[in-house]
Chain A
Amino acid sequence: KNQVEQSPQSLIILEGKNCTLQCNYTVSPFSNLRWYKQDTGRGPVSLTIMTFSENTKSNGRYTATLDADTKQSSLHITASQLSDSASYICVVSLGSQGNLIFGKGTKLSVKP
């Protein structure tokens, strides 16, 4: 069964601290993996997209890693800001048609 599992479900950190979010997937055939940030009641905004051959990709304070052998990805956020409070969703694209398999997200709260 094609699944994307994210951990933790929720996370609270202090402003300025770093954090790492995890994503494990069992999706075949794999096309690419994306991380999205979604504010409550708003549409998801793409942070990174990685294909099978890419191990790491950065977008400002966000760095995503991908291990295609273990089928794991992580999203590292450095020097967190209050505006980073949101849900972070790991999404794996399935095969050539690109159907998206969504994780349930990690809800991040950054406190002052």
Chain B
Amino acid sequence: DTEVTQTPKHLVMGMTNKKSLKCEQHMGHRAMYWYKQKAKKPPELMFVYSYEKLSINESVPSRFSPECPNSSLLNLHLHALQPEDSALYLCASSPTPGSGYTFGSGTRLTVV
């Protein structure tokens, strides 16, 4: 298995909803990442998990809450989002921090 799998592919949520994005990889990668990408812009780093521990938080608002239950899974919990949070959320993984990134297909999030 050489893929990073993200679910759901599309998500529409209200500003009062609580939802979660999921990311899974079975390549034995020990670093996992969340990126946010707005239309026609490059991806922006949100969080980095290294060996299941949060190592980088790029000043992301607390309405985004990451979780790494184990070395294969990465979640992004969403609560009280704003319409401007609508974007493509990308998960990526690498064998070690900084090496050989593999991106998932993304979750297209729309906040209404």
Residues of A within 8 A of B103 (CB): 36, 43-46
- The number of chain B residues touching the other chain, given as a range, is 20 to 34
- In the complex the two chains form, is B101's CB within 8 Å of A46's CB? yes
Taking the complex as formed, is B25 at the interface, i.e. its CB lies under 8 A from any CB of chain A?
Answer: no
Given A31-B98, A96-B98, A98-B97: A42 and B41 within 8 A (CB)? no
Total contacts A-B at CB 8 Å = 44
B60–chain A nearest beta-carbon distance, Å? 15
Contacts of B98 in A (CB 8 A): 31, 93, 95-99
If the complex has contacts A89-B42, A102-B43, A104-B42, are A42 and B105 also in contact, measured as CB distance less than 8 A? yes
Contact A46 B97 (CB under 8 A): no
The answer to whether B42 and A99 touch across the interface, beta carbons within 8 angstroms, is: no
Nearest residue, chain A, Cβ from B100: A49
Q: Which of B81-112 contact A (CB under 8 A)?
A: 88, 90, 92, 94, 97-106, 108
Number of A residues contacting the other chain (C-beta, 8 Å)? Answer: 22
The smallest C-beta distance from B1 to any residue of chain A, in angstroms, reads 16
Shortest beta-carbon distance from B48 to chain A in Å? 9
In the complex, A96→B99 CA distance in Å?
A: 9
Binding site for B on A (CB under 8 A): 31, 34, 36, 41-46, 49, 89, 93, 95-100, 102-105
Extra contacts besides A44-B103, A105-B42 (19): CB < 8 Å:
A41-B106, A43-B4, A43-B6, A43-B103, A43-B104, A44-B43, A46-B101, A46-B102, A46-B103, A96-B98, A97-B97, A97-B98, A98-B94, A100-B45, A102-B42, A102-B43, A103-B42, A104-B41, A104-B42
Question: Please, could you name 8 A-B residue pairs with CB atoms under 8 Å apart, sorted by A?
Answer: A42-B105, A43-B4, A43-B90, A49-B100, A93-B98, A99-B45, A100-B101, A102-B42
